[in-house]
Amino acid sequence: LIFLKVVSDYGTGEKVTPEKVTDLIGSNIEKITSWLEQIHRNCLINQVSFSDEEEECIRKVIVNLQCSVSMEHQLRQILRYYKLAHGSFCERLNQYMNNPDMPCKTKTEGKKYFEKLKSKLI
Protein backbone atom coordinates (compact mmCIF):
# COMPACT_ATOMS: atom_id res chain seq x y z
CA LEU A 1 0.00 0.00 0.00
CA ILE A 2 1.19 3.45 -0.81
CA PHE A 3 -0.23 6.52 0.86
CA LEU A 4 0.26 9.95 -0.61
CA LYS A 5 -0.06 12.89 1.73
CA VAL A 6 -0.95 16.20 0.14
CA VAL A 7 0.26 19.18 2.11
CA SER A 8 -2.30 21.81 1.29
CA ASP A 9 -1.44 24.55 3.75
CA TYR A 10 1.40 25.68 5.90
CA GLY A 11 -0.43 26.19 9.16
CA THR A 12 -2.09 29.41 8.03
CA GLY A 13 -5.56 28.21 9.01
CA GLU A 14 -6.78 28.48 5.44
CA LYS A 15 -9.76 26.21 4.76
CA VAL A 16 -8.93 23.21 2.58
CA THR A 17 -11.50 22.32 -0.05
CA PRO A 18 -11.71 19.25 -2.28
CA GLU A 19 -11.14 21.54 -5.26
CA LYS A 20 -7.89 22.86 -3.75
CA VAL A 21 -6.61 19.33 -3.15
CA THR A 22 -7.56 18.37 -6.72
CA ASP A 23 -5.69 21.42 -8.04
CA LEU A 24 -2.61 20.62 -5.94
CA ILE A 25 -2.53 17.04 -7.20
CA GLY A 26 -3.20 18.14 -10.77
CA SER A 27 -0.36 20.65 -10.75
CA ASN A 28 2.04 17.98 -9.44
CA ILE A 29 0.75 14.97 -11.38
CA GLU A 30 3.96 14.54 -13.39
CA LYS A 31 6.07 14.36 -10.21
CA ILE A 32 3.58 11.95 -8.61
CA THR A 33 3.41 9.60 -11.62
CA SER A 34 7.20 9.67 -12.01
CA TRP A 35 7.57 8.69 -8.35
CA LEU A 36 5.00 5.88 -8.70
CA GLU A 37 6.68 4.56 -11.85
CA GLN A 38 10.02 4.49 -10.02
CA ILE A 39 8.47 2.47 -7.19
CA HIS A 40 6.89 0.10 -9.72
CA ARG A 41 10.22 -0.45 -11.51
CA ASN A 42 11.93 -1.18 -8.19
CA CYS A 43 9.22 -3.69 -7.29
CA LEU A 44 9.68 -5.50 -10.62
CA ILE A 45 13.45 -5.64 -10.18
CA ASN A 46 13.17 -6.99 -6.65
CA GLN A 47 10.37 -9.44 -7.38
CA VAL A 48 11.14 -12.97 -6.25
CA SER A 49 10.54 -15.60 -8.90
CA PHE A 50 10.34 -19.34 -8.45
CA SER A 51 12.47 -21.95 -10.22
CA ASP A 52 10.85 -24.81 -12.14
CA GLU A 53 11.54 -27.11 -9.19
CA GLU A 54 9.91 -24.67 -6.77
CA GLU A 55 6.90 -24.27 -9.06
CA GLU A 56 6.51 -28.05 -9.07
CA CYS A 57 6.63 -28.13 -5.25
CA ILE A 58 4.03 -25.36 -5.06
CA ARG A 59 1.78 -27.19 -7.56
CA LYS A 60 2.01 -30.37 -5.44
CA VAL A 61 0.89 -28.48 -2.33
CA ILE A 62 -1.97 -26.79 -4.18
CA VAL A 63 -3.27 -30.09 -5.52
CA ASN A 64 -2.79 -32.08 -2.29
CA LEU A 65 -4.47 -29.45 -0.13
CA GLN A 66 -7.21 -28.67 -2.66
CA CYS A 67 -6.27 -24.99 -2.45
CA SER A 68 -8.63 -22.31 -3.64
CA VAL A 69 -7.27 -19.46 -5.77
CA SER A 70 -7.10 -17.28 -2.66
CA MET A 71 -5.16 -19.94 -0.75
CA GLU A 72 -2.76 -20.29 -3.68
CA HIS A 73 -2.07 -16.54 -3.65
CA GLN A 74 -1.48 -16.65 0.11
CA LEU A 75 0.86 -19.62 -0.27
CA ARG A 76 2.88 -17.94 -3.01
CA GLN A 77 3.23 -14.76 -0.95
CA ILE A 78 4.37 -16.69 2.12
CA LEU A 79 6.85 -18.66 0.03
CA ARG A 80 8.29 -15.46 -1.48
CA TYR A 81 9.05 -14.21 2.02
CA TYR A 82 10.35 -17.61 3.06
CA LYS A 83 12.66 -17.78 0.06
CA LEU A 84 14.05 -14.30 0.76
CA ALA A 85 14.69 -15.17 4.39
CA HIS A 86 15.80 -18.81 4.17
CA GLY A 87 16.40 -19.80 0.54
CA SER A 88 14.78 -22.79 -1.11
CA PHE A 89 11.64 -24.19 0.47
CA CYS A 90 11.16 -27.40 -1.54
CA GLU A 91 12.64 -29.73 1.06
CA ARG A 92 10.42 -28.21 3.74
CA LEU A 93 7.29 -28.52 1.58
CA ASN A 94 8.13 -32.08 0.56
CA GLN A 95 8.54 -33.09 4.22
CA TYR A 96 5.14 -31.60 4.98
CA MET A 97 3.51 -33.28 1.98
CA ASN A 98 4.91 -36.71 2.94
CA ASN A 99 2.14 -36.94 5.51
CA PRO A 100 0.01 -40.12 5.30
CA ASP A 101 -3.11 -37.90 5.19
CA MET A 102 -2.05 -36.45 1.82
CA PRO A 103 -3.73 -35.77 -0.46
CA CYS A 104 -6.58 -34.25 1.53
CA LYS A 105 -9.96 -35.76 0.90
CA THR A 106 -12.03 -32.59 1.40
CA LYS A 107 -11.54 -28.85 1.04
CA THR A 108 -12.22 -28.45 4.76
CA GLU A 109 -9.42 -30.85 5.58
CA GLY A 110 -7.20 -29.01 3.10
CA LYS A 111 -7.88 -25.69 4.82
CA LYS A 112 -6.90 -27.21 8.17
CA TYR A 113 -3.59 -28.49 6.80
CA PHE A 114 -3.03 -25.24 4.93
CA GLU A 115 -3.26 -23.26 8.19
CA LYS A 116 -0.78 -25.63 9.81
CA LEU A 117 1.60 -25.24 6.87
CA LYS A 118 1.34 -21.46 7.04
CA SER A 119 2.23 -21.49 10.73
CA LYS A 120 5.31 -23.62 10.00
CA LEU A 121 6.51 -21.27 7.25
CA ILE A 122 5.87 -17.93 8.94
> CB count, 10 Å around CB of 92?
16
15-39 pLDDT, tens digit per residue, is: 888 898 899 899 999 999 999 988 8
| pLDDT higher than threshold 70 for residue 47 | no
| Average pLDDT of the segment spanning 87-107 | 88
Type of residue at 37: E
H-type helices in the chain, by residue range?
A: 18-27, 29-45, 52-64, 69-86, 90-97, 107-121
C-alpha closest to that of 48 among 76, 22, 20: 76
Instruction: Report percent pLDDT > 90 for the chain.
Output: 42
54-82 pLDDT, tens digit per residue, is: 999 999 999 999 999 999 999 999 998 89
pLDDT at 45: 64
pLDDT at 74: 94
| Average pLDDT of the segment spanning 81-98 | 88
Contact at 8 Å (CB) between 114 and 69? no
Contact at 8 Å (CB) between 61 and 117? yes
Q: Supply the pTM of this predicted model.
A: 0.61
20 contacts: CB under 8 Å, gap ≥ 6: 8
| pLDDT higher than threshold 90 for residue 1 | no
Domain residue limits, the chain: 1-47, 52-121
